[in-house]
Amino acid sequence: MNIKYLKKMTKADIVNEISRTTGIEKVAVQTTVEAFMEAIKGSVIDGKNVYLRGFGSFVVKQRAEKTARNISKNVTIKIPAHNIPSFKPSKSFVNQVKDQVK
């Protein structure tokens, strides 16, 4: 499977690809992928950043308080400071995408 020609890849596609390349049963791969995602989500929810060398980092970013407008009601609203999850790809990952994705 040549991934660079895919428009999107779902969790099922990832499970199928890992199962095909490793020979591990799809059920076991799916359980592992889901456990991996839950571990990442749990760590980020707890405020811990997750660093995967050569891949990237899942980090918590803080957004500052800001003022916005509700156009339909023509009122100004204040959006409080809040945290959001973010993914920052590693430099090597970014360079691979720059060089190989057309």
Residue 4 C-alpha from the chain's centroid: 18
Domain boundary among 30, 47, 64: 47
Is residue 89 within 8 Å of residue 56, measured between CB atoms?
A: yes
With tokens 């990832």, the residue in question is 14
Same-domain status, 98 and 71: yes
Which pLDDT belongs to residue 13?
94
Which pLDDT belongs to residue 2?
53
Structural domains of the chain, count: 2
Question: Which pTM does this prediction carry?
Answer: 0.75
Round the CA-based radius of gyration of the chain to a whole number and report it. Answer: 19
Which pLDDT belongs to residue 4?
53
**Could you give the CA distance from residue 29 to residue 20 in angstroms, rounded to a whole number?**
10
Same-domain status, 57 and 34: no
Same-domain status, 94 and 59: yes
Which pLDDT belongs to residue 39?
97
Same-domain status, 42 and 59: no
Which pLDDT belongs to residue 5?
57
The per-residue pLDDT string of the chain (102 residues; one tens digit each, 9 = 90 and over) reads 455 555 788 999 999 999 999 999 999 999 999 999 999 999 999 999 999 999 999 999 999 999 999 888 889 999 999 999 999 999 999 999 999 887
Same-domain status, 98 and 62: yes
Same-domain status, 79 and 42: no
DSSP collapsed to 3 states, 26-74: HHHHHHHHHHHHHHHHHHHHCCCCEEECCCEEEEEEEECCEEEEECCCC
Same-domain status, 20 and 54: no
With tokens 């499977």, the residue in question is 1
The percent helix, strand, coil of the chain (3-state, each to 5) is 45, 30, 25
Query: Domain range holding 29?
Result: 1-47
Which pLDDT belongs to residue 3?
52
Same-domain status, 41 and 55: no
